[in-house]
Amino acid sequence: MRILIADDHELLRDVLRSYLEAEGGFVVETVADLPQALAAIAAAPAPFDLVVLDYGMPGMDGFAGLDRAMAASGGRPVALMSGLAPAGVADRVLAAGAAGYLPKTLPARSLVNAIRFMAAGEVYMPLDLHRPSRQPESGAPAGLSRRELEVLAGLCAGHANKGIARELNLREPTIKLHVTTICRKLDARNRTHAAMIARERALC
């Protein structure tokens, strides 16, 4: 996977690149501002699998920079990252069709997992930044996305992550991230508890 990280904090760029390259399977390019990011996107011999932009770096002009990068990327995933989330960031990022939002307060390992998740074509958004305005109605799918319901069906059937990944044509780390999100949304202690809750609510 080819990743472009654009951030004006050199230490963060280096940390993320080191973690990703240590994971294996990643080729990482880093730049310090939006003009450099747009130039890198235009000059790349092949599209990046994911572009990660710092919300506050030079040239961004708020969400305008996200829109410009998404247009330049030709439909490939672009994500936003920030140390301080602007008001309404979750709704704005999702409405724009971006790959997700990364708070810099996440541990480095969690950032890497989220980057892998988005590069695989999924959307990442911390739950505390995107909550529905009201509780789901009785019988509704507990705020779960279509993909999460598919993964949940695999949990209810007793399948391991590897089997669910094979059935849905996804990577196993992606399934692990989905399971974590499902457990949080259902207030489940673990995957087994999530399956029990799902059966009680007729979600699977």
In CATH terms, the fold of domain 146-200 is Arc Repressor Mutant, subunit A (1.10.10)
The full set of domain ranges for the chain reads 2-129, 146-200
Measuring CA to CA, which residue among 197, 153, 200, 199 is closest to residue 175?
153
Task: Give domain 2-129's CATH number out of 3.40.50.2300, 3.60.15.10, 1.20.1280.50, 3.20.20.70.
Answer: 3.40.50.2300
* Residue 131: pLDDT band with limits 50, 70, 90: very low
Q: Which residues contact 98 (CB under 8 A, 6 or more apart)?
A: 66, 70, 77, 78, 79, 80
- Taking only the tens place, the pLDDT of each residue in 80-110 is 998 776 667 777 887 888 999 888 877 777 8
Strand partners, 2: 27
Which one is predicted more confidently, 107 or 133? Answer: 107
> Could you tell me where the beta strands, DSSP code E, fall in 62-123?
78-82, 100-103
Q: Tell if the pTM clears 0.75, that is, is over it.
A: no
Write phi, then psi, for 47 (nearest 5 degrees).
Answer: -60, 145
Identify the pLDDT of residue 136: 44
Identify the pLDDT of residue 32: 96
CA distance 197 to 204: 10
